[in-house]
Amino acid sequence: MSRIGKQLIRIPSGVNIKLTEKNILVKGPKGEIERSIPSCLSVVEKEDNSLQVLRKNEDISSREMHGLFRSLVSNMVIGTSKGFTKILELKGVGYKANIDKKALNLALGFSHPVRIEAPPGIELSVENNTIIKINGIEKEKVGLIAQQIRSIKPPEPYKGKGILYKAEVIQLKVGKSSK
């Protein structure tokens, strides 16, 4: 049995769960998320304010989905109660960011500014012109937007300039040496 799949999902106060045969709806103070339940799994609500994901059979596809779906449901509960945050840092001379009507404007040394629209459910904020905070209730979307912003100007290995995740360490390469 999956070590992750068999763990119980604790439901914090303020989070409501509505289970049907095919869907799970999680409502919390930050918002609500709905996801369909795979046909090979079932979700059971326990009396001690927790959820358990169970397999209906023991074939390979249900064993593959067991731990994954338990993690997805756990992320739904955490997202609707606390939310998820990713922090990016701009490193480089003249690299700046600002917010303009829910859109992120980046000056990264290109001949033009880069504009990124925030998708629904995602909040973008900027601190000190160099720190970008991405907040949302869906972990997948928050990580995807952070990766898309980072891919515009990934850190280069010689000077370490670019867009980095907070506390990311870039191994700098030694440049060319003259004879």
178 pLDDT above the threshold of 80: no
Q: Please provide the average confidence, as pLDDT, over all residues in the chain.
A: 91
Between 147 and 168, the more confident residue is: 147
Q: What is the pLDDT of residue 29?
A: 93
Q: What is the pLDDT of residue 176?
A: 82
How many residues are listed for the chain in this entry? 179
The 10s digit of each residue's pLDDT in 21-37 is 899 999 999 999 999 99
What domains can you pick out in the chain, each with its CATH number?
9-81 (3.90.930.12), 84-165 (3.90.930.12)
Q: What is the pLDDT of residue 1?
A: 58
pTM, two decimals, is: 0.86
Averaged pLDDT, 150-179: 89
The 10s digit of each residue's pLDDT in 119-145 is 998 999 999 999 999 999 999 999 999
Averaged pLDDT, 78-104: 92
The 10s digit of each residue's pLDDT in 35-62 is 999 988 989 988 888 999 999 888 898 8
